[in-house]
Structure formats: structure tokens, C-alpha cells
Structure 1
Amino acid sequence: MTSIRFPTPAHRGVLDEVLAELVEDPLVCGVLLGGSLARGTARVDSDLDVLVVATAPPGAFAALETRLPGPRSHPLSPRGT
């Protein structure tokens, strides 16, 4: 794993808090760090770009799918599939 250079202690603290909460969630499959922090170009005014990969219980998208225009499909699949 590559070492991350945090521009401030607050950046590390916030990321540590987010990760501590996500690791306890059984639906979370993975977490990706992106943006300037991942590239090593973060500054003191940089935000944290975090992508959370999670599973969803059956029917979790049912309410959303009824409001989506066009073909009914999983909201994350290519249209029409």
C-alpha cells in the first residue's frame, strides 16, 4: 500500500473517522480514495474524495426505479439492459 501524504491532521482525522464507521457496515464491500489526496497533490483546502462500494438488500432500488424515466432496469446498469 502506498503511503498517503495528508496536508493537515484534520484530513487524516476525517478519513480515519469515515473509515472507522464504514468498516463496521456489513453492506460495505470496499472504499476507494480518489482525487488530489490519492494523487499526492492535496493542499490544505482540498476535500476528501471517497467512493464507497456497497451491496444493497433486495428491493432497495424499487422506489427509485419507479421514478426513473425510460426502460426499467437496475439504476447502475447501462440503459436498456
Structure 2
Amino acid sequence: MKFLRFTSEAAARAAFADHLIDGDWPAYIGTAAVDVVGTIHRPTGNMLNDGVPEMAALPGFHINLSDSVQGLEGFEIDAPATPARVFFGAS
């Protein structure tokens, strides 16, 4: 599994330009599955007045791939300790 981070959705779309289908994200690039996670939010540790945890956005726009895709390797990051999402069966 490959984790990709871009500075913004626009940067991700530019990197995926050859793979977009009528402007939409592809489900697959070759045999690599594509999971567009987007902006990830994590609790800040503070609670809002209604008892809901306050959330803050992590930097970047995130996409997961089931395998490397040529031309996108430069956006791969190390696997996070606690990923927001993973593919079923991914280790």
C-alpha cells in the first residue's frame, strides 16, 4: 500500500491529470486501486460546547494506492502509524 500526500487537491489533480476520467478520479490506474481520502481531520484534544471533539485538518490532500504508479512515486510518504484509511486486507 502506498500513501500519497499533495499540497492541495489542485496539486493532486495536476499530478493525476493523465489518469482523470472526464475530470473524475479513477478507481484504478492499471491494477493499482485508488482511494481519494482528501483532507484528514484529527481531534485536537479540546471539546466543543456540545460535547463533540474539536477537529483540526492535517496538512495536505491525501490519496492511497494499492501499489506504486509510475510518475506518482515522488508523492509517496512513509506509512503513517495510524492511517485514516487502508485497503481491506492491507498489512
Same fold (TM over 0.5): no
Normalised TM-score (structure 2): 0.24
Instruction: Name the one with the larger helix percent.
Output: 1
Higher relative contact order (CA 8 A, sep 6+): 2
Normalised TM-score (structure 1): 0.27
Instruction: Name the one with the larger strand percent.
Output: 2
Q: Which has the larger radius of gyration?
A: 1
